[in-house]
Amino acid sequence: MMRTRPLKVALLGCGVVGSEVARIMTTHADDLAARVGAPVELAGVAVRRPDKVREGIDPALITTDATALVKRGDLDIVVEVIGGIEPARTLITTAFEHGASVVSANKALLAQDGAALHAAAEEHGKDLYYEAAVAGAIPLIRPLRESLAGDKVNRVLGIVNGTTNFILDKMDSTGAGYQEALDEATALGYAEADPTADVEGFDAAAKAAILAGIAFHTRVRLDDVHREGMTEVTAADFASAKEMGCTIKLLAICERAEDGASVTARVHPAMIPLSHPLASVRGAYNAVFVESDASGRLMFYGPGAGGSPTASAVLGDLVAVARNRINGTTGPGESAYAALPVSPMGEVVTRYHISLDVADKPGVLAQVATVFAEHGVSIDTVRQQGKDGEASLVVVTHRASDAALGGTVEALRKLDTVRGVASIMRVEGE
């Protein structure tokens, strides 16, 4: 039997995502009520610009006083889609204090203060759901948190930023340079006017922190994630990748150490073989590989951003939280029992592709090989091309630690025969 008293929902933010959430709540009201077991009513919308026309939203619901809205005391759920750290953090904790559960899409806040927010939710007996914070419409948080709760996840590897994937895909498919591809992404609306959060890896790093924390039952904060952007990736890097049968993607990688005693989380560009499923992820799409003991390899694929896809994830959480409210229960909270240490990037072991500009004369290759050997880095393949007294030397290593590779490169720079290090890129996904 359906409950007649509606569940009251407040919406914080009414931009691209928020307006789509409101639209779906209105146009699909009957379906949502049937799925939840009670009507779901939009009780208030907090915005910064009250004079903006918002089609389909009753102007009487609009307010600029978000604090007063979450303090009403009669709300069942607060949906936070304003982003940023403050005032979102204070508004969410205030919502808990005044009896509401929270659905959020705020990756930056969750990566920085997820533990404190989970603690506040638990203290007040409320839900904190955030499927929309990572990979848009792709169901990822809930499978990790619930479906794989009985499994041991060892690795999460994926493309979690659509803007950077669009740019790199364009560079790969057309031979365009970074700036040219970025300009096209901006013109098409895939990149913001200031793309720093995307192209420098901040967005992906926040998502990696959230994924690592859930996958490994360990608190992983944004500061724990090693981050490198993709602004230095060149057309020459793509040419080298193609010669190896690879392409280049900006990857978020969360791994459990082989001995199970620690974890790592990192974001950086990497070469991956064309045979790997992530290599075929095109445009602004996202895809994430999850590797675990019992289920093996799972791949989650779909649109990772945008109003409708992100709103879909928000509404999925809203339905789940609403059902919990009706049943007087809460869903799973933070699971950080493992409390594994997060290892620094220097201890991460992977393969490397190093391109050197060297003098084209006898003995150079021997000198370079000696430096690698002295630092304990084993060489897999070497390719050398020379012209007019100069040469390009490309070295692909076997697996080595980041610290060992760093020492190797520092020593290479001191060789008189090495003119410069053109590029260094990790090789992943084998």
Task: Report the 10 Å Cβ neighbour count for 297.
Answer: 11
313: Cα separation from own chain's centroid: 15
3-class SS at 419? strand
Residue 358: which of 350, 368, 348, 349 has the closest Cα? 368
**Known active-site residue 71:** no
- Tell me the longest C-alpha to C-alpha distance in the chain: 86
> What is the DSSP code string of 332-383?
-----TT---B--GGG-EEEEEEEEEEE-STTHHHHHHHHHHHTT--EEEEE
Q: Which residues pair with 271 in a beta bridge?
A: 248, 427
Gap between the Cα atoms of 186 and 151, Å rounded: 41
Gap between the Cα atoms of 84 and 107, Å rounded: 8
Residue 126: which of 106, 104, 111, 105 has the closest Cα? 104
Phi/psi for 170 (5° steps) reads -65, -40
Gap between the Cα atoms of 108 and 209, Å rounded: 10
> What is the DSSP code string of 31-71?
HHHHHHTS-EEEEEEE-S-TTS--TTS-GGGEES-HHHHHT
Q: Which one from 107, 126, 207, 249 is the annotated catalytic residue?
A: 207
Burial, 1: exposed, middle or buried (Cβ in 10 Å; 0-12, 13-18, 19+)? exposed
| Residues marked as catalytic | 207
